[in-house]
Structure 1
Amino acid sequence: MRSDLPMHPIHVSVVLCDAFSNMVLACLLEPLRVVRDQTGANIRWNILTDGDRAVASSSGLSVSPEMPMADAPPPDLVIIIGGDAFRDSKGATPARNLGRLIRGATVIAADTGAWVLAKGGFLNARKATLHWQLLEEFAEEFPEVEVLPDRYVQYGRFWTCGSAASAFDLMLKFIRDRFGASVAFDAGAMFLHDNARRHGASYPDQTLSQAVSPKLKRVVVLMSEALEAPRSIPALAEQAHISERSLRRLFWTELQTTPGRYYLLLRLARARELLRYSNLSLDQIAMRCGFASTTTLTRSLRKNFSSDPLRDRWTNL
């Protein structure tokens, strides 16, 4: 385990409401599962439901709670996933139970989860967002809440978002803030199409948010095209027709990292793919990913991903 990862357990309570989206649930929970499995971080979660009863997803998947909400242990993170039946709900979960659950915790409310929070008065005088189709209705229903049209909104310990795509981006931000950029990058990269990974396809911008600029994506494409012989940052800036200073500002503004750091992560992610899905030797992999030797590659993997190359090689056998 990396020494800079949180050593104490992180307990997550996931609250599901009637007609919740399976996709939103996966986009919020699966990245945490990857962090747990890849880093050894002690992340645990329990499933709770609105009204402490079995609820069905929008596609009909029935989920029962693991325990009553009132009996849930104090969580570090609460994920509330609203559903399509929010207008018909009479508030089966008493506000006092939800208030007890979220007290002191970071709260992520996705899809119509902000509606659940607002109904209990927890978003009064706060900023929030939810699914874009409901913004106007939400603002009329809850005038005490400052409604923003952003993909996601972080206001203190309350984080809100709408669609599955924005939920995924928000969770990666949570992971980046909590565990660091390399762990967040790894969690995002795990959800690329397996066939593309197995056949060695490059993935220049598939882990990037849809909200990043075309200029940034263009630079990342240039990076992905030169993994074996990495270009210098000044050369990348010249090829992208922007100044080196603007390039660095672009990466820091949109990805909160430096271009050099991101370039390194691209090369390491490619190396991990080849370790898992190819029969290339370590020497060949190091060469294809722009590392001078297997020693340099191994040291960089261990430093950035707590990754043992031989363990990665046998992970998927």
Structure 2
Amino acid sequence: MNAVIARLPHSVDARVRFFAVTSLVIQILIVATGGAVRLTGSGLGCPTWPLCTDASLIATPEMGVHGVIEFGNRLLSIIVGFVAILMVLMVLRIRRERRDLMSLSLMILGGTVLQGLIGGLSVRVQLDPSIVGVHYAISAILVAISAALVYRVWTGLRGPALSVPKPVAILTHVTSLFVALTIIAGILTTGAGPHAGDDGTARNGLDAGILQHVHSWPGYALIAATLALVIVLARGGHRRIMDFAIILLVLEVVQALIGIIQSRSGLPILLVGSHMVIACTIAAAMTAVVLSLRPSVNQVERTSAEKAAL
């Protein structure tokens, strides 16, 4: 065991960076496959949990394509768990000097375990929309945490002070609130819509037509707030933060266009699935914008050294 521990990274090296990025990518990927389960009506492709059927751990030929899709998603969730464990191991030896990385890695691991349990519960309660909604919300949170992990791995420890005026920081946090509200409204809208995960699954009882409009309100407010943020950052010369904000704005515009098209074309599953995935990437981009408000210790030291050299 000691020999294994000795081979673990003792600094933030290529292995740590690889598993940090892998954590983010696979957390987004599980959202995509989970969406495929729901949108193809395969939510009960494996009608029980943790087994696929009462007599089989895996999908059987009699269960058809729905069983394959649901069981495939379960297999990917196991891989997600393994990646989370490996990420914790990658930062084990640097846990004292990089407590931020260890904390984020443990949150991802704990959240992944929680996701597995909630996913199993959703099957047990026949895809109750409230449980399925919580399942998606936790996925979005895990994507955001994974994005924070990648950011911290690349930039270093959080710096002591803001690099922007306080009003800009407030606008950024208001923007992040709109991200959260838009995602929550989207979860409620999906819970009222036709894509339940199974033909016999109940919906949340809300009016999907009204919710589509309600969902769009924080979405449009989000685009307006992000545009204002980009303009303010550009005028203030905050190039690094502005770059993240521009990525966020582009994702939001694409998301809005997909939302409009899907609502006017009968909610085709490919567009709905893309909408679900992009929502999580927006959460990741928003995380990067918020974290970039404070330059890392490495960035502060580098800037100080450059000024001293002049």
Q: TM-score, normalised by structure 1?
A: 0.27
Q: Report which of the two has the higher share of helix.
A: 2
**TM-score, structure 2 as length reference:** 0.28
Q: Which one scores higher on RCO, CA 8 angstroms, separation ≥ 6? A: 2
